[in-house]
Amino acid sequence: MNSELLIDEPAFTASGRTRALQRALTTDRCPLIVAIHGGGFTSEYFDISGCSLIERAAARGYGVIALDRLGYGRSRAAGKDVQTLAANAEWISEAIDRLWTQFQEECAGVVLIGHSIGAALAVMLAAQPQSWPLAGVAVSGAGLTPNPALHSYFERFPADTWVETSAENKDRLMFGNPDDVKSGVAELVRPAYVPIATRELLEINTVWPQNARALLTSVEVPVQFRLAEQDGLWVVNDEEIQSLSDLLSRVTGSSAAIVSHAGHCIDFHNVGPQFQDDQLNFALGCCRIS
């Protein structure tokens, strides 16, 4: 599905992907899934054929929106020209505030699903009060400790610009073992690659690691935190998972775990369907206890 213009105001524009709400025959109110993509993708990340979180959520009767983040697609806002994490988080909060009214009669609350930079943004949003009812957060692709081997790789990019790396380099960063990816999936994903803001690259490797622990201990809703076993962008081991578990332990229903047989973009691996089902089951559970 092509990107849609979700909000079109003089000083605030948001594009993304959504599905018309089709409720199942149940008296339960459903979650509204708001999916937040990482760097170098648009909302299309969540709508790749055969790997679509949007389709999977819609099939359950959930509300679902995947936003093009600030600066991606057609998403813009007056006064927010620098691609910082803080500006992105503020913009996403404003976008959800505008969109929530379309779903509030059918949906019990908002569950954020964030990947990579989108994961950091989801946690940032969850750590502060919102005007819309946040019920939970499911994140992947952003750990506590960046892979030190990549420091020099990211430092070579100029500040405050947009860069595009080769598809081959991006494949190596996004995928794990080729045996853990269905044949043809990488070719489906490649057209979704877009340039990435270098300010985001800098801040996800500096600002996020500096603040992540304090942010996570401030979140008052359940958090499902997942790291891919083969994620080359982050340090992934049992010690990191234990640290995350300790940070999340004060909120019932929170958890941290490693997803085996997957690289950075878990959604595109063979384990992707089960991973997405786990996220959506978590989302429903958050709305039942919220």
Per-residue pLDDT, 24: 54
- Using CA atoms, how far residue 177 sits from 182, 229, 266, in Å, is 11, 10, 12
Q: Is pLDDT at 128 greater than 90 in this prediction?
A: yes
pLDDT tens column, 217-226: 999 999 999 9
160: confidence class by pLDDT, cuts 50, 70, 90: confident
213: confidence class by pLDDT, cuts 50, 70, 90: very high
155: confidence class by pLDDT, cuts 50, 70, 90: confident
Per-residue pLDDT, 25: 46
Q: Is pLDDT at 193 greater than 70 in this prediction?
A: yes
- Find the mean pLDDT for residues 123-131: 97
Per-residue pLDDT, 82: 73
Q: Is pLDDT at 27 greater than 70 in this prediction?
A: no
Instruction: Give the domains, in start order, of the chain with CATH numbers.
Output: 4-289 (3.40.50.1820)
Structural contact between residues 46 and 57, judged by C-beta atoms closer than 8 angstroms: no
Q: Which residue has the higher pLDDT, 188 or 165?
A: 188
153: confidence class by pLDDT, cuts 50, 70, 90: confident
